[in-house]
């Protein structure tokens, strides 16, 4: 079976495992997730759950919102069943679990991409403020987030051995190639029909920006988490993350980023006109 087929199978499996409670809230169960993640016995999986709970606590989230103990009837052989302790897991809990799992297992690596991307999509969907924004406002919001995360990505990549400006340009192109099916920054720029002075990130819609934001944050996290060293390994990591994001978009039935429409207005011009409008309304000063 091809690698892409395995990843799609895993994604379908994660989605089919999802259950819904009486109030319509989705959840996964720890015992079922343990089997899918290739843990031979549930007791080997419990330390991973504990690490995930600790990570949940450290991130400031309420543990009981994401990890709920309950008793479930579990088949123990020969058709017999008995009540065993289990845990109801939110999507965010699953994300934390796979982040703390063994990345050498393909199913763990695929789970990291699946749950991370789905969690981010859910966060944006649940963010009332974000949903109330118009498309251009969403573009500005996501572009600012991407700018901040790209700075963090530079710092982590430097620690991995991506040292010079040229090194980082090559590193970035690996991420683009993974996400855009082989296209690098120059190819994307040409495909969008941009002028030489225009930046590709300033000429993306909110959906395309969100995909690139996810690529950047997950690459940063993977470089840091796996303590990756060396330019070649860092480049490969960026490519692999971009590719997995692309495959997840495909699995979810989304449009490939290179096929998304280019907005009519460059964000640089849009920000400038927004600033001028604010200054006019404020009597000449943006801070008035």
DSSP states of 76-121 = EETTEEEEEEEEEE-HHHHHHHHHTS-TTSHHHHHHHHHHHHHHHH
Task: State both tokens at 108.
Answer: 């763990």
Q: Would you say residue 277 has pLDDT above 70?
A: no
- CA-nearest of 20, 194, 186 to 90 is 20
Q: List C-alpha distances in Å: 59 to 30, 96, 128, 255.
A: 21, 11, 21, 32
CA distance 92 to 114: 11
pLDDT attached to residue 24: 83
Can you give the pLDDT at residue 275? 57
**Model's pTM, two decimal places?**
0.62
Q: Give CA–CA dist 267/123, Å, rounded.
A: 24
CA 20 to chain CA centroid, Å, is 23
Alpha carbon 196 to its chain's center: 30
- Percent of the chain predicted with pLDDT > 90: 47
Q: Sorting pLDDT into bands at 50, 70 and 90, what band is 22? A: confident
Produce one character per residue of 219-242: b if its CB has 16 or more CB atoms within 10 Å, e if not: bbbbbeeeebeebeebbebbbbbb
What pLDDT, on the 0 to 100 scale, is given for residue 108? 79
Which range of 111-125, 164-178, 251-265 scores highest in mean pLDDT? It is: 164-178
Instruction: Give the tens place of pLDDT for each residue, 76-124.
Output: 666 677 788 999 998 889 888 988 887 777 787 777 767 776 776 666 6
């Amino acid at each position: 079976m091809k690698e892409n087929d395995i990843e799609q199978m895993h994604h379908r499996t994660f989605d089919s495992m999802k259950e819904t409670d009486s109030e319509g809230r989705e959840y996964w169960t720890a015992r079922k997730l343990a089997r899918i993640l290739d843990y031979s016995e549930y007791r080997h999986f419990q330390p991973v759950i504990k690490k995930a709970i600790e990570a949940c606590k450290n991130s400031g989230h309420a543990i009981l919102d994401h990890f709920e103990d309950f008793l479930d009837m579990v088949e123990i052989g020969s058709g017999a069943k008995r009540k065993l302790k289990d845990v109801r897991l939110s999507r965010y809990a699953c994300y934390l679990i796979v982040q703390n799992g063994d990345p050498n297992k393909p199913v763990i690596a695929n789970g990291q991409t699946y749950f991370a991307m789905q969690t981010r999509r859910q966060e944006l969907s649940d963010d009332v403020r974000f949903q109330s924004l118009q498309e251009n406002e969403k573009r500005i919001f996501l572009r600012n987030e991407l700018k901040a995360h790209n700075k963090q990505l530079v710092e982590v990549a430097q620690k991995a051995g991506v040292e010079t400006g040229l090194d980082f340009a090559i590193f970035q192109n690996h991420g683009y190639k993974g996400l855009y099916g082989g296209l690098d920054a120059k190819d994307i720029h040409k495909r969008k029909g941009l002028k030489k002075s225009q930046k590709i990130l300033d000429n993306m819609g909110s959906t395309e920006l969100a995909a690139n934001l996810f690529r950047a944050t997950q690459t940063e996290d993977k470089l840091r988490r796996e303590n990756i060293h060396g330019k070649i390994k860092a480049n490969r990591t960026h490519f692999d993350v971009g590719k997995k994001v692309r495959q997840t978009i495909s699995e979810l039935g989304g449009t490939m980023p290179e096929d998304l429409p280019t907005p009519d207005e460059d964000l640089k011009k849009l920000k400038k006109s927004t600033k001028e409008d604010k200054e006019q309304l404020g009597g000449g000063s943006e801070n008035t």
